Amino acid sequence: MSRTEISEFGEFGLIHHLTKNIELQNVSSIIGVGDDAAVIDHFGKQTAITTDLLIEGVHFDLMYTPLRHLGYKSVVVNLSDIYAMNAIPTQITMSIATSNRFSVEALDEFYEGVYAACEKYGVDLIGGDTAASQKGFIISVTALGEVNPDKIVRRSTAGIGDLICCSGDLGASYLGLLFLEREKKIYLESPGVQPDLEQESYVIGRLLKPEARKDIVEFFEEKQIIPTSMMDISDGLSSELLHICKASECGCVIYEEKIPVSEETRKAAYKFEIDPTACALSGGEDYELLFTLRQEDYEKITLQEKISVIGYITEAGKGETIITKAGNAHPITAQGWNAFKNKI
């Protein structure tokens, strides 16, 4: 494979190279890459905006993360935040900083993933910045989305008696990480050993190439459901539940047996001799949606197998409780993916 040095392009050449094939998809994208700022238009809608910073060695490990997947995921994790407002993502900006360890071909691979995500989710890349980094690969993404003012769903508006629901299944991504970290360790100790991760493709795929729940937000629209509160599950179910309860000034009860965990995740958890429920509660990086619904909306979701009802909202004084499979009540504690606690 050929290697083109980034310095051969210069900054403007590099930006041009990385963005030359963009075709804007949204009518609201008036001006894209190539001026001081991009310009977007809104026809009576409101704009949701979110931003994430991803740092090599903290948020991802290039030893086992293909650049294409990394580009894809960098976009998806931001879109997930937009969907969590019940909004439709429309534009992103993408900034990267890299050292000369990267070739232009490597960046192309990363951007292939970025563009694949943009295409899949119908968003336009409209701007960004490239810079040199002293160490490691740094990614900053900002995503914008549109939402009708009467459809925005916040974290702070859950009501007593509301059903607590989540999409998809939880805990897989964390187990994917455990497998890859274990294989990395083995590889570093004995580089000749080929890892066999085929059996774990589900949990590893969930870590390396997560999807945002566009389909769930579309389902809400189709069924005319407006959740009473919503957020995406990036730090683990416990942490997000506590956020909703704090913001909404309420308590909650959830049932361990109702928490959706896939068969693949269960098997993977048993290999590491850890509790699959703990992975769902504290694992993080699932990018599923956690939301609350009025009880009268229950019928609208009963046939929707992608949605699980896991509990209900209680009064503030009642605390946050999980009822285990054995029938015991325990307080829910946040042991989420805390970058500062774990990594600094």
14 binds a copy of itself (CB under 8 A): yes
Query: Tokens 């969590």 belong to which residue?
Result: 84
Tell me, by CB under 8 A, how many residues bind a copy of itself. 79
In the complex, least distance from residue 30 CB atom to a copy of itself, rounded to whole angstroms:
6
Q: Which residues have C-beta within 8 Å of that of residue 113, sequence separation ≥ 6?
A: 67, 68, 69, 70, 71, 72, 73, 74, 75
Q: Which of 17, 120, 154, 267 binds a copy of itself (CB under 8 A)?
A: 154
Q: Which DSSP symbol is given to 199?
A: G
Indicate the SS3 state at residue 64.
coil
Residues 32-61 that bind a copy of itself (CB under 8 A): 34-42, 46-59
In the complex, least distance from residue 149 CB atom to a copy of itself, rounded to whole angstroms:
7
Site string for a copy of itself, 304-333 (x = CB under 8 A): ------------------------------
Tally of CB atoms within 10 A around 70? 23
259 binds a copy of itself (CB under 8 A): no
Q: β-pairing, 251-255 with 320-323?
A: parallel
In the complex, least distance from residue 27 CB atom to a copy of itself, rounded to whole angstroms:
12
126 binds a copy of itself (CB under 8 A): yes
- Nearest-CA neighbor of 230 among 220, 306, 122? 220
213 binds a copy of itself (CB under 8 A): no
Q: Which letter, b or e, does each residue of 234-256 get, where b requires 16 or more Cβ atoms within 10 Å of its Cβ?
A: bbbbbbbbbbbbeebebbbbbbb
How far lies 129's CA from each of 35, 69, 191, 316, in Å?
Answer: 12, 20, 37, 45
Selected range binding a copy of itself among 132-140, 165-173, 218-226, 263-271, rule: CB under 8 A: 132-140
Selected range binding a copy of itself among 182-190, 229-237, 271-279, 312-320, rule: CB under 8 A: 229-237
> Pseudo-torsion of CA 119, 123, 127, 128, nearest 10°?
-70
65 binds a copy of itself (CB under 8 A): no
339 binds a copy of itself (CB under 8 A): yes
In the complex, least distance from residue 11 CB atom to a copy of itself, rounded to whole angstroms:
5
Q: Which letter, b or e, does each residue of 283-322 get, where b requires 16 or more Cβ atoms within 10 Å of its Cβ?
A: bbbbbbbbbbbeeebeebbeeeebbbbbbbbbeeeeebbb
341 binds a copy of itself (CB under 8 A): yes
Selected range binding a copy of itself among 5-13, 109-117, 248-256, 303-311, rule: CB under 8 A: 5-13
In the complex, least distance from residue 300 CB atom to a copy of itself, rounded to whole angstroms:
23
166 binds a copy of itself (CB under 8 A): no
